Structure 1
Amino acid sequence: MQLKRLTAGINTGLLLLLAVFYIPCVQANTLLSASPSQASYSLAPYTEFWHEDEQPVTLNDLLSQPRRFEQAQQAEDLNFGYTPHDVWLRTQVHNDSPEAQRWIVQFEYPFLDYVTLYTLRLQDSDVQQSGSAVPVDQRTLAHRQAAFPLELAPHETVTLYTHVAAPGSKMLSYHLIAPEAFYAQNDRHNFWLATYFGMLLALGLYNLLLFLGLKERVFLHYTLFVAGFGVAILSFNGIGTLMFWSFLGENTARLVALGFTFASATGTLFAQSFLNTKAYCPRWHLLLNTFRSYCWLAVIAMLFLPIPLALHLMDVTGFMAALLLLLCGSHCSLRRVPSARLFVLAWSLFLLGVGVFALRNLGILPANFITLHGIQIGSALEMLLLSFALASRFNELKRQKEQAQTAMVAALKKQEALLEQKVAARTEALEQLANSDVLTGLLNRHGLKRCAESALQRNRQHGNRLALLMLDLDRFKPINDSYGHEAGDFVLQKVAKRIVHLARTGDHCARFGGDEFIILMENIEPGDSLAATDSLKTIVARIDQAIRSPIKLPCGARVSVSVSIGVSTCQGAEDATLESLLREADSHMYAVKSHQAAACYRYGSASS
């Protein structure tokens, strides 16, 4: 039994070791080999992305002054939420067939103002444009989503640069899809969208006729709610700009914000009428009156606010409206208000859709089919249930509604737990980012300062010896000049790994800036009382030898750097600080560097 466990442990360790070496190779792969045997490819695993600075950047700028793109792994990595800057995507596509192929590059999220696709070939390049703010006659393909045809010659490889500008949420999941599959998928989506909007139109007209016949305002309030919501969803899904108001351009986003905020106001008014809150729940009635006044002010503000702020206000207002009405309905249900339980069920489904919609726009939830269409699914179910409730508002379905309410409460609790986990993970990630160097993963100056303060405090308390090693790479600049900054970054990463490998457990390794590194070591005994492998002199020699070992660049060339190492120590000194240790180590390091330069000069003179 012990032998089997040992064998299983060894196999697990080997698999983990292979994974460590395999993952970087996968991450560096940005070339998609497209075969006609497969109808669709997700481009996310083959895409690199870069966020534009405040100054606009053209493709020529990117080609002449390359930026540091980051590698995406999956579609969620391309969900950037409300980022204020434009985004560039880069990927390569190779035709894996001896025959010419025709593909379509399709973005899944329809609410993107401007999407420009640059196709770079060996001989020429072309530019295509689409997006919700682009007039239909100026789009490459007249489609509700950004879609671009891509022609590939036999065994041709092209580089795709995509520039995306949008004031709203940037969910940039996109695919490479064969034309037959694209149009078949388009037919399916159009069928469901037509069904959805046909249902909205029928519900609106049906309740309008009921209002005209029965003169009850609750039906008019519901009709206004459906109208505002329908206009917003039409614009958001790209159907409105494709068929009705393409001339609005960038103001399509403002129409979405207006529609959803108007729906929040009229939805609140409908809830007050439907639940008769004035009679059954006077306090809730006053609260909803106040909130409705805020919604009307928000509608007016949508006309003047910058579009990004209007979209943020839309998300907040919609989420608050759905949550308030759910709480009000739950309270009315406990008070046994007629039809309140059916209202709670319907509005819970709508709240779930609105919540998914808002959280996905903010970049908290990933972009997938459920989050992309959650608001449509939730609103469709909600409107159907409310229509049934309006037609038979005195019927009670106790058991089914209680089960639905319990399930919704559990779903809300689960969602709250997931949000708490995400907040904790983000907090940890931000703390790691604040203390770590992005390139090497070592401590940055801030992280080194924090570790040094704790180490010096322990040094004063226990009197153990503390050492600081300052490492400055020599012959590093020629590598940058000859092979480029990417090669220089690769060398710095390799050197950082070697330093971490040679450091002892508990040592603090940091990148101090440029090609300078710091190792902070605690519990160093004076003199040569330690074993030879742990003495400072031995550690310095091992580090020097390891860093001098040749490094193979991704291009295949081999380079090597040397290092000048300065050492400073202290033992229980009350006035010792990180700055004093750095100054002493810096002085020793420059003495070593001068000595090495003099030795090289004497050697060169002797050779001459």
Structure 2
Amino acid sequence: MHACLLHRQVCLGLLLLLLGWIACWQPAAASLTTSVDQSRYSLTDHTQFWHSDAPLTLNELLERDPSFIQAQHKSDLNFGYTSDEVWLRTQVENPTARSQRWIVEFEYPFLDRVTLYVMREHYNEQKVSGSAVPKEQRELAHRQAVFPLSLAPGETVTLYARVNAAGSKMLNYNLLSEQAFYQQNDRHNFWLATYFGILLGLGLYNLLLFFGLKERVFLYYSLFTLGFTVAILTFNGIGTLMFWSALGENTSRLVAIGFIFASTMGTFFAQSFLETEKFTPRWHRLLSYFRVYCLLALVATVLLPIQPALRLMDVTGFMAALTILICGIYCITQRVPSARIFVLAWSLFLVGACVFALRNLGILPANFITLHGIQIGSAMEMLLLSFALAARFNKLKRQKERAQNEMLMTLKRQEAVLEQKVADRTKALERLATRDMLTGLLNRKGLTDCAEKALQRAQHIGQPVALFMLDLDRFKPINDQYGHEAGDFVLQQVARRIEHLARAHDRCARFGGDEFILLIEGVDDVTVLNDIRQRLNAAIREPIKLPCGELVSIDVSIGLSISQGDHDCLKNLVCEADEKMYDVKASRADRAIRYYSAKP
């Protein structure tokens, strides 16, 4: 009997010990004891969570007293896309004799509404924040959901957090001292400012290049950067904090619109940068078809409920990145210029987009890399693409310079040709102005110009100028008998004969009608001049065969004048030669009269 009683007592004691251990374990696992020596705590290991398929108030939750589940790892608080309302519960204890001030910080900035209830011994506090909450209604004006928490000496509080979000619910949160929080905030703001400064600078720079070069590839890149920047600004909470906090519940929709718009512009950019229409027509058509899908998805994002729109954003972004990457790889096989750097850059972006989408879907765990992967990948991708675009800009600049140089050379060649044509035309006009149209000899104007220069040279070197005046005899009967064309032919033949006898620097002219002039420089020997006269007489008297086959002969009367001094001019020389030429004609007439009168 005593043995049986002892056995029962042992069993009862073990049962009570087990119940006490269970009772003590559950609260202990959910309680955080703070210390002034530590500035940061992760609340994950001290947090319990519960899903509610209907909205509840805190009082309704306490009345229902649901069974909360203890979180063991950070991944336990990554719920992905869920329409349920999620409640978190954590106990925080200040065992010290000093008051403490802390900041409760939710790591993930893309949470629509977070309501934090602080349950104290005598009263409760309610605080609200989140990306869909207007800035002036947030507990602290910050891009993340953050809340101040004051703990009195020896106080223990229970935190209940109600989270509503159309997007992915990644609910890891921390407890930081005010100093640690603001130091961390300064670091994050520095890197975010650098990141968005890079995006803004690249977008504006390429937009200016588009206006300067009129190349659409720079415009598409700027629009791609614009859509991506709007989405990331909203996702990181900076956009809602600084620019569009009044959007409220539609803040999440703006993220989807921005990413899908960036996907649409990405297809334009890939086609233009890789010149798919020229090198890979099939991929060009495929990207065009995919862009139609992106445009439809963009319209659907505006019309669908927010959570389906966000899911569509993830799928569209992943498909766009993968499609463009495969297109780039194919372009490498086709040796498309700049395809290698394009693939490298887009691979980095694809990795970031995949991490972003898979973490939103709850497939990947939540950590720094998955939380900021798309920002890291996109920053590297855009820098590489900017280098590629800079190379494209330099290439276009060189092409433009070559084109300008070629155009300049063409203009110079055309100018040279034009100048030559003008010179030829001027020369031709001068020839027309100074040459006889029938014989090609100098006319009166041409003779005057040459005579003035010859007389100036004669005065300078002291040598005379000789002028022969030639007048054709028996020319009029040829004109009358055979016509003016025959007469013109005779004049041309006489001109050729005079030119043939003249020296290279002598000047031959048709003075008018059947009169010709031969101007000779540097000859003052009368014997030489008489010899020239005799040869002219003999040459001109040679028979001329007309085009009709008839042979005709003409005679010539030649008068000679020689410059004597400084006051000589062409007019005087012509008058003197003309007089002597008529003297020759008169003497011939007298001889003819005596010849005929002497006949019986």
Q: Place the TM-score, normalised by the shorter chain, in its bin.
A: 0.5 to 0.7
CA distance in 2, matches of 1:382, 1:96: 50
CA distance in 1, matches of 2:385, 2:392: 9
Q: C-alpha offsets along residues 36-94 of structure 1, whole Å, 9 cap, x if unaligned?
A: 110000000000000012x2211101111200111001211100000111100001000
- In the alignment, which residue of structure 1 is the partner of 2:138? 139
Equivalent position SS for 1:308:
helix
- In the alignment, which residue of structure 1 is the partner of 2:328? 329
Amino acid at match of 1:216: E
Equivalent position SS for 1:117:
strand
- In the alignment, which residue of structure 1 is the partner of 2:313? 314
Residue 259 (structure 1) aligned with residue 240 (structure 2) = no
Q: 1:395 to 1:351 in 2, by over 3 A?
A: farther
Q: CA deviation at 1:96?
A: 2.3
Q: CA deviation at 1:370?
A: 0.6
CA distance in 2, matches of 1:121, 1:27: 16
Q: What pairs with 1:416-455 in structure 2 (closer than 5 Å)?
A: none
Q: 1:395 to 1:348 in 2, by over 3 A?
A: farther
- In the alignment, which residue of structure 1 is the partner of 2:48? 48
Q: Note if contact 1:235-1:252 (Cα within 8 Å) is conserved in structure 2.
A: yes
CA distance in 2, matches of 1:91, 1:205: 47
- In the alignment, which residue of structure 2 is the partner of 1:30? 30
Q: C-alpha offsets along residues 207-229 of structure 1, whole Å, 9 cap, x if unaligned?
A: 00110111100000000000000
Residue 294 (structure 1) aligned with residue 293 (structure 2) = yes
CA distance in 2, matches of 1:62, 1:26: 19
CA distance in 1, matches of 2:224, 2:189: 24
CA distance in 1, matches of 2:192, 2:227: 17
Q: 1:112 to 1:319 in 2, by over 3 A?
A: same
Unaligned runs of 5+ in 2: 1-20, 396-600
CA distance in 2, matches of 1:209, 1:179: 43
Q: CA deviation at 1:395?
A: 9.9
Q: 1:282 to 1:28 in 2, by over 3 A?
A: farther
- In the alignment, which residue of structure 2 is the partner of 1:89? 88
Q: 1:150 to 1:326 in 2, by over 3 A?
A: same
- In the alignment, which residue of structure 1 is the partner of 2:342? 343
Amino acid at match of 2:288: N
Equivalent position SS for 1:303:
helix
- In the alignment, which residue of structure 1 is the partner of 2:116? 117
Q: What pairs with 1:188-199 in structure 2 (closer than 5 Å)?
A: 188-199=187-198
CA distance in 1, matches of 2:283, 2:354: 22
Amino acid at match of 2:265: T
CA distance in 1, matches of 2:97, 2:28: 26
Q: Note if contact 1:80-1:169 (Cα within 8 Å) is conserved in structure 2.
A: yes
> Percent of counterpart pairs with the same letter?
68
- In the alignment, which residue of structure 2 is the partner of 1:357? 356
CA distance in 1, matches of 2:82, 2:133: 21
Amino acid at match of 2:49: F
Equivalent position SS for 1:89:
strand
- Count how many residue pairs are aligned between Structure 1 and Structure 2: 374
Q: CA deviation at 1:25?
A: 4.5
- In the alignment, which residue of structure 1 is the partner of 2:200? 201
Equivalent position SS for 1:250:
helix
Q: C-alpha offsets along residues 321-368 of structure 1, whole Å, 9 cap, x if unaligned?
A: 000011000110111110000000000000000000000000111111
Equivalent position SS for 2:284:
helix
- In the alignment, which residue of structure 2 is the partner of 1:106? 105
Amino acid at match of 2:84: H
Q: 1:273 to 1:27 in 2, by over 3 A?
A: farther
CA distance in 1, matches of 2:57, 2:47: 19
- In the alignment, which residue of structure 2 is the partner of 1:448? none
Residue 170 (structure 1) aligned with residue 166 (structure 2) = no
CA distance in 2, matches of 1:312, 1:351: 17
Q: Note if contact 1:211-1:217 (Cα within 8 Å) is conserved in structure 2.
A: yes
CA distance in 2, matches of 1:35, 1:73: 22
Amino acid at match of 2:43: L
Amino acid at match of 2:34: A
Residue 63 (structure 1) aligned with residue 24 (structure 2) = no
CA distance in 1, matches of 2:28, 2:176: 23
Amino acid at match of 1:383: M
CA distance in 2, matches of 1:166, 1:52: 13
Q: C-alpha offsets along residues 133-161 of structure 1, whole Å, 9 cap, x if unaligned?
A: 00000000000000000000001000000
- In the alignment, which residue of structure 2 is the partner of 1:498? none
Q: 1:193 to 1:76 in 2, by over 3 A?
A: same
CA distance in 2, matches of 1:62, 1:201: 46
CA distance in 2, matches of 1:96, 1:336: 69
- In the alignment, which residue of structure 1 is the partner of 2:239? 240
Equivalent position SS for 2:337:
coil
Residue 73 (structure 1) aligned with residue 69 (structure 2) = no
| Aligned structure 1 segments of 4 or more residues deviating by more than 3 angstroms | 24-28, 393-396
Q: C-alpha offsets along residues 289-309 of structure 1, whole Å, 9 cap, x if unaligned?
A: 110001011111111110001
Amino acid at match of 1:316: V
Q: CA deviation at 1:393?
A: 3.7
Greater Cα radius of gyration, structure 1 or 2: 2
CA distance in 2, matches of 1:321, 1:395: 29
Q: CA deviation at 1:315?
A: 0.2
Q: Note if contact 1:98-1:155 (Cα within 8 Å) is conserved in structure 2.
A: yes
- In the alignment, which residue of structure 2 is the partner of 1:230? 229
CA distance in 1, matches of 2:364, 2:107: 16
Q: Note if contact 1:339-1:395 (Cα within 8 Å) is conserved in structure 2.
A: no
CA distance in 2, matches of 1:350, 1:27: 44
Amino acid at match of 2:29: N
Q: C-alpha offsets along residues 3-33 of structure 1, whole Å, 9 cap, x if unaligned?
A: xxxxxxxxxxxxxxxxxx99x9489610100
Residue 281 (structure 1) aligned with residue 280 (structure 2) = yes
Q: C-alpha offsets along residues 190-223 of structure 1, whole Å, 9 cap, x if unaligned?
A: 0000000010110001000110111100000000
Q: 1:344 to 1:394 in 2, by over 3 A?
A: farther
Equivalent position SS for 1:286:
helix
Amino acid at match of 2:307: P
TM-score by length of 1: 0.60
- In the alignment, which residue of structure 1 is the partner of 2:218? 219
CA distance in 2, matches of 1:265, 1:302: 13
CA distance in 1, matches of 2:316, 2:343: 19
Q: CA deviation at 1:394?
A: 9.5
Q: Note if contact 1:28-1:71 (Cα within 8 Å) is conserved in structure 2.
A: no
CA distance in 1, matches of 2:263, 2:157: 47
- In the alignment, which residue of structure 1 is the partner of 2:372? 373
CA distance in 2, matches of 1:331, 1:25: 59
Equivalent position SS for 1:234:
helix
